[in-house]
Amino acid sequence: MPNRSLYFISLLFGLLFVFNLSMGESFISPQELFQNLFSDSKINLIIINFRLPKALTAILVGVALSVSGLLMQTLFRNPIAGPYVLGISSGASLGVSIVIMGAGLTGIAFISNISILVGALIGSIGMMLLLLSILRFVKDIMTLLIVGVMFGTFTASLSAILQYFSPSFQVKSFVLWTLGNLSTVSYSQLWIMFILIILSLILVLYSLKGLNILLLGSDNLSNFGINKRQLQISILISTAILTGVVTAFCGPIGFVGIIVPHFSRMLIKTSDHIKLLPITALLGASLMLLSDILTQIPPNGMVLPINSVTAFVGIPFILWVLLKPNNKIGI
């Protein structure tokens, strides 16, 4: 079945991509899209300068978050693990809030994209290290989740302190960032995202074998010739980069990372990561394209924050995972 599912999702992805380009302040029909593809018309300008980068951002965000969710669910053996729930996004947020507002407090007015990126990456890698070190002492998955939630709250209060002492314009720029935004990413930032995501996906490919063995329980790795430490580190680095880079440019976007791996498992009914990875990546991209389309529901060019949309989709699903007895979703 995986092959047929792959065709189906690729088709869905293609349709959503075209539809995503059509949607916006003014609707451009797919026909017009193609007619103006190579002309210098106004429509072409709108597409190239505004809608295409936004759609490409949505794709990269969807791929990165859902793949990192897949890795974390396997690593932590937890069906509701994901970059957002376990606090990886919060770690990245703390890094960014320190960069955005801390810069103002210390009088360094210079905030570049790179410093935000570095802040987010340090935050997400730090949080991932913290989780892994906790995993050495506690085997209990619930404890780990609680730690993730606590850290989320902790970083929120740290951010609140920073906000309290920061000038209002910086507070606003931080709050806007936390709501999530796909439309502010420029082409040069897209390139940075693309390269970092591709690099971590290569690392993910190297971890596929070990990830499949991890499904048996992490004690059994060396019996299958897998180096446990190496595997944990490469998963750590790839998830932290995938989450960190997305969080840096688009804000902490929640729930995509949790739900997409579940959708993929339910769809192709396998736990084999070699088959799950492409499906998860494509589904993640499709879900982000769809969420971005949904942000444009309000009339008159108003746009909902992307984070609210993904939460509306994600929270009911997570509740269903948690509350439905005997569901086959478990990892």
Partner 1 sequence: MEKQVAIAVKDLCIGYQEKKQFKDLTKAFSFQVKEGELVAIVGANGIGKSTLLKTLSNENPYRGSVKIFSKEIDTITSPNLAKYLSSVGTNYQIQSYTRVEDVIAKGRSVHTNWIGRYGKKDLEIIKESAKKVGVENLLQRFYNTLSDGEKQRTLIAMSLAQQSNIILLDEPTAFIDYPNKYFITALLKEITIKENKTVLFSSHDLEVVLTYADKILLFSETEVEFLNKKDFLEEEQILKLFNHHQLTKEFQNTLVKQLLEFYR
223 binds partner 1 (CB under 8 A): yes
184-191 long-range contacts, CB within 8 A, separation 24+: 184/249, 185/53, 185/54, 185/57, 185/249, 185/250, 186/53, 187/53, 189/113, 189/249, 190/53, 190/56, 190/57, 190/60
Q: Does 320 bind partner 1 (CB under 8 A)?
A: no
Candidates 29-37, 87-95, 248-256, 268-276; binding stretch for partner 1 (CB under 8 A): 268-276
Q: Which DSSP state fits 13?
A: H
> Side chain identity at 262, as an amino acid letter?
H
Which one of residues 145, 183, 199, 272 is an interface residue with partner 1 (CB under 8 A)? 272
Q: How far apart are the first and last CA of the chain?
A: 20
Stretch that binds partner 1, among 3-11, 141-149, 214-222, 239-247 (CB under 8 A): 214-222
Q: How far apart are CA 314 and CA 243, in angstroms?
A: 17
Establish if 198 lies at the interface with partner 1 (CB under 8 A): no
Of 30 and 330, the one with the shorter C-beta distance to partner 1 is: 330
CA distance 124 to 83: 9
Binding status of residue 108 toward partner 1 by CB under 8 A: no
Quick one: which of 124, 66, 80, 91 has its CA closest to 256?
A: 66
User: Binding residue for partner 1 (CB under 8 A) from 107, 217, 299, 325?
Assistant: 217
CB of 215 to partner 1, least distance (A): 5
Q: Under the criterion CB under 8 A, does residue 39 sit at the interface with partner 1?
A: no
Compute the distance between CA of residue 120 and CA of residue 252 in angstroms, rounded to an integer. Answer: 10
Which member of 44, 183, 270, 308 binds partner 1 (CB under 8 A)? 270
Q: Count residues near partner 1 (CB under 8 A).
A: 28
User: Using the rule CB under 8 A, which residue among 195, 227, 312, 316 binds partner 1?
Assistant: 227
Binding of partner 1 by 216 (CB under 8 A)? yes
Q: How far is the CB of 227 from partner 1 (least distance, A)?
A: 6
Q: Is 105 in the site for partner 1 (CB under 8 A)?
A: no
Name which position in 187, 222, 312, 319 contacts partner 1 (CB under 8 A): 222
Contact between 225 and partner 1 per CB under 8 A: yes
Q: Which two tokens stand for residue 160?
A: 């609140």
Taken in order 204, 209, 212, 214, is the CA torsion positive or negative? negative
Minimal CA–CA distance to 291: which of 317, 311, 264, 309?
309
Alpha helices in 251-305 (DSSP H): 256-268, 273-294
Q: Using CA atoms, how far apart are residues 95 and 258, in angstroms rounded to an integer? A: 22
Q: Which of 220, 312, 316, 319 binds partner 1 (CB under 8 A)?
A: 220
Per CB under 8 A, contacts with partner 1 among 48-77 are 77
Q: Which is nearer to partner 1, 188 or 223 (CB)?
A: 223
Binding site for partner 1 (CB under 8 A): 77, 205-206, 208-209, 212-213, 215-217, 219-220, 222-227, 265, 269-272, 274, 328-331
